[in-house]
Structures are given as structure tokens and as C-alpha cells.
Amino acid sequence: MKKILIIEDEFHIADGIKLNLELCGYKCFTANTGNDGLKKLNTHKPDLVILDLMLPDKDGVEILKKIRSDDRFFPVLILSARGEVEDRKLGFIFGCDDYMSKPFDLEELELRVKRLLFRYEDSNEHGEFFEFGRNRIDFRKRIAITENQEISLTEQELNILKYLFSNSGKPVTREEILINALGYEVDVQSRTIDNFIVRFRKYFEKNPKKPKFFKSIRSVGYMFDLNE
């Protein structure tokens, strides 16, 4: 079970998030001050931190820096009231993190948590290479080596491939791919994903019309399949 630490001084917000995320199957801890947050970071070893920027005893940015100094990619979701921090500073601080301004939607928070955890886990567990059939994906060099050619892959292509590989043998919907791999909200045209799949089949399948790996699953979406 994934553990989440919520550092937030407003009790009703902290408890609301906790309740909601526990219903989604996460184990949550709350801390209502910055110092308590730092303490619980050590004792509970969470997989993700939800961090309010304005805390009574500490600036949330300080806590973020502490987390970053231990692990540059550790997932942190920042909460802040609109207008608390100037835009320029935000861009600087949040670079690879996610940010939500209050008031926020709990369902959206849950989606963002899921995505941050997925990305982190993925970057840790997927080494540099992934092979299927006669294809090899080199994530570090961002290329695919197929039977006939070498293709440079875009960031979006790499993210979708990673998502499909980590769900291999499991049907996934277009919406799931959009949200988890590309970070889009659901109202984006789902044809976007179809276009990527067409491209992957052209790159990696012997016969793109009869795909062995990038299969269509009727009324669901797609499935990456390793068992031909």
C-alpha cells in the first residue's frame, strides 16, 4: 500500500484529503506543522508528499528543498492558495513537481497523486531498455531500434510506451492513457491516442494491420501484449 504524507495546517483540508485518499486505497498520515512534517517524513517514509506552502512554523519551500536534497525526483504535490506565491517563483520551484491551488477538486487531486506515483515508480523500475519482438526501446537515448531502422522518439511517445509496457497484458482505456501517460484532463479528444497507436504499429509491428503487440480491445481501448 502506498503511503502519503499530508503536510497542511488547516485541519479540515488535511482530514478531507486523508479521508478521500484512504478511500482510494492509500495509507495517509497528516502533519499540521512543518516540523511535524519533517519528523513524519523520517518516521513514516512516505511514497509521496502533499505539501501546503504556508505553514505556521516553516515555509513549505524549505521542506521541499529538504526533500529534494535527499531525492531529486521524489513526488511532491504542492497545495497553495491562489496568489500566495508569485508566478515566476512558482515556475522555478515547481519545475518537476505538481501544483494545485486552493480550493481544489478532490477527484482531480486523486488523479494527480496517481500520476505522480506512476511516473516516479516508472523512472525507478524501468531500466534503460525495454525489448519486445525484434524491437528495443532505449529510454535514455530516447530511440527505438527496430528490425529495419532507428527511430528517435518524442517525449509523448516515450511516456505512452512506458505506460503501456507497465500495464502489459492489461486492457487500458484511451482516457487512462491520456491522464496517466500524458497528464491531460479527460476532455481531450481521444483520437489523439489512436494516432499514437497507429504510429507505434507502423514502427514496431511486422504487419500493422494485424498487430501482435499493440492490440485493440473492443469497447475498452488498447492492450500491449507480450504473449503473441
Name the residue number minimizing CB distance to Ca ion.
Answer: 54
Those residues whose C-beta lies under 8 Å from the C-beta of residue 208, and which sit 6 or more positions away, are 198, 201, 202
* Bridging pattern class, strands 135-138 and 143-145: antiparallel
The reply on whether position 106 binds Ca ion by CB under 5 A is: no
CB of 38 or CB of 158, closer to Ca ion: 38
Q: How far is the CB of 215 from Ca ion (least distance, A)?
A: 48
Binders of Ca ion in range 7-26 (CB under 5 A): 9
Site stretch for Ca ion (CB under 5 A), options 47-55, 70-78, 127-135, 152-160: 47-55
Neighbours of 181 (CB within 10 A): 26
CB of 56 or CB of 127, closer to Ca ion: 56
Of 6, 3, 65, the C-alpha closest to 37 is 6
Site stretch for Ca ion (CB under 5 A), options 2-10, 17-25, 111-119, 219-227: 2-10
The reply on whether position 52 binds Ca ion by CB under 5 A is: yes
CB of 52 or CB of 176, closer to Ca ion: 52
CB of 54 or CB of 106, closer to Ca ion: 54
Q: Sign of torsion, CA 163 165 166 171?
A: positive
Angle at which helices 60-70 and 34-44 cross, to 10°: 20
Q: How far is the CB of 40 from Ca ion (least distance, A)?
A: 17
The reply on whether position 54 binds Ca ion by CB under 5 A is: yes
Of 110, 116, 97, the C-alpha closest to 17 is 110
Q: Does residue 175 contact residue 186 with C-beta atoms inside 8 Å? A: yes
Of 158, 131, 160, the C-alpha closest to 143 is 158
Q: How far is the CB of 56 from Ca ion (least distance, A)?
A: 8
Q: How far is the CB of 17 from Ca ion (least distance, A)?
A: 13
Q: Given the rule CB under 5 A, which residues bind Ca ion?
A: 9, 52, 54
